[in-house]
Every structure is written in structure tokens, then in C-alpha cells.
Structure 1
Amino acid sequence: MLIHTSIEQKLLRAFDPVFLDVIDESHMHSVAPGAESHFKVVIVTPLFDGMRLLQRHRAVNAIVATELAEKIHALALHTYTPGEWYEYYAEKPPASPKCFGGSKREKAST
């Protein structure tokens, strides 16, 4: 099973989100093609009501702990209540920053 699919299925079961987007951003980093190592998760659920940002992130990390320990190098989390989501983003996820790590090929040639 793809890591992307595993993350998505686990989060759907655990949080019953009103919006979920699991995005493989590995292509934006200096990794081998098909690496599935860098992900962004945008999740909107009423279960986050009353939770601080750190609590939300810990809750998500607990659900995908196996993937984090074994396969994922980076996981960007955007966690919202439905009210926050509609107020700030109106169903348009925030953009990810560019990777500043550079390419291994670029470093070798300089």
C-alpha cells in the first residue's frame, strides 16, 4: 500500500474530517523519484474544537506514528476546525514553502 493511501485511510477513520487532503510533496525535495518521503496534510474536523495547535498535531502524529517512524522524512500539518477553515481559507489549502535543502547534484557540482 502506498504511504499516501495509508495516511489518508488512518486519518479518515480517526477524525471523520469534513475536509482532508494528503499531498505527497516529495517531488519538491532532493529525493529519488517515487520516494514518498515528504507530505503535507490539511485536515478539518470538529474534533479539533477546543484543542490547541500542539494537541492537534500530537493527535495526528499519534495516528500516523508508524509511517513517521519508518518511512516519512517530513510531515507538514495544517489542522483546523470547520469554523477556522471557512474563515481563513474557504477550501483553499495554504501553500507550502519551497525546499531550501537544494539538490545533491547542485552541491556536488559547486
Structure 2
Amino acid sequence: MTEPSTTLRPVADLIAERLTAALSPTHLEVVNESHHHAGHMGDDGTGETHFAVDVESAAFAGLPRVARQRLVNAALAKLLATRIHALTMRTRAPGEA
């Protein structure tokens, strides 16, 4: 069930809020890519179903890619279950290319 306080807010804002709270990123970019998927599976007509994130956080230091992705997925678990159909991510620690 979707949280009432989140149903009217843009999904990109919710993603940024949750990743900021969970990972204290030094860089965070959230891009809504839903327009590329209009009419495809997972498109619910809202224009807010497909996203890409670029996250730089000290929390990723020393972690392999899969562990970093798990941290992002954990922070966004409720949104992934209800409002996000697809998420691509770039995760890196400060100083990584």
C-alpha cells in the first residue's frame, strides 16, 4: 500500500529524499526516464515509472557493485514495490571515476 503522504509527490523527489537519508551522498542525480518507455510494459500512464540514479557516497567505499546496489534497493524498497517499475543506477565512492 502506498503511503498517503507520498502519493501526490513526484517520485523523483521521493527517490532523492530516501537516498539522501540512507546514504548521505556527496553527489546525487535522479533522472526520470519514463518518457523513453511510454506504452511499454510497466508504464502506468503516470510518467513516473522508470528512473536512473547516479549516486556518490562514502557508504559505498570498499563495497562491490552488488552490495552498493543492495543499499540503494533497500533505501527505495517501498517505492520499488509500489511506484517504480525500473531503476538503473550508477554507484561510486568519492574519488572513483
TM-score tier, shorter chain, comes to: 0.7 to 0.9
Which position in structure 1 is the counterpart of 2:53? 41
Q: Which runs of 5+ in 1 are unaligned?
A: 89-110
Q: Does 1:81 align with 2:89?
A: no
TM-score (norm 2): 0.81
The correspondence of residues 90-109 of structure 1 with structure 2, limited to 5 A, is none
Q: Partners in 1 of 2:71 and 2:38 — Cα distance?
A: 29
Q: Does 1:17 align with 2:29?
A: no
Q: Partners in 2 of 1:45 and 1:59 — Cα distance?
A: 11
Q: Partners in 2 of 1:46 and 1:8 — Cα distance?
A: 16
User: Which protein has the larger Cα radius of gyration, Structure 1 or Structure 2?
Assistant: 1
Provide the alpha-carbon RMSD of the alignment: 1.3
Q: What displacement does 1:14 show?
A: 1.0
Q: What displacement does 1:42 show?
A: 0.3
Q: How many residues align?
A: 85
Which position in structure 1 is the counterpart of 2:16? 8
2:76 paired residue among 64, 73, 87? 64
Contact 2:54–2:91 (CA<8 Å) still a contact in 1?
Answer: yes
Q: What displacement does 1:34 show?
A: 3.9
Q: Which 4+ residue blocks in structure 1 deviate beyond 4 angstroms?
A: none
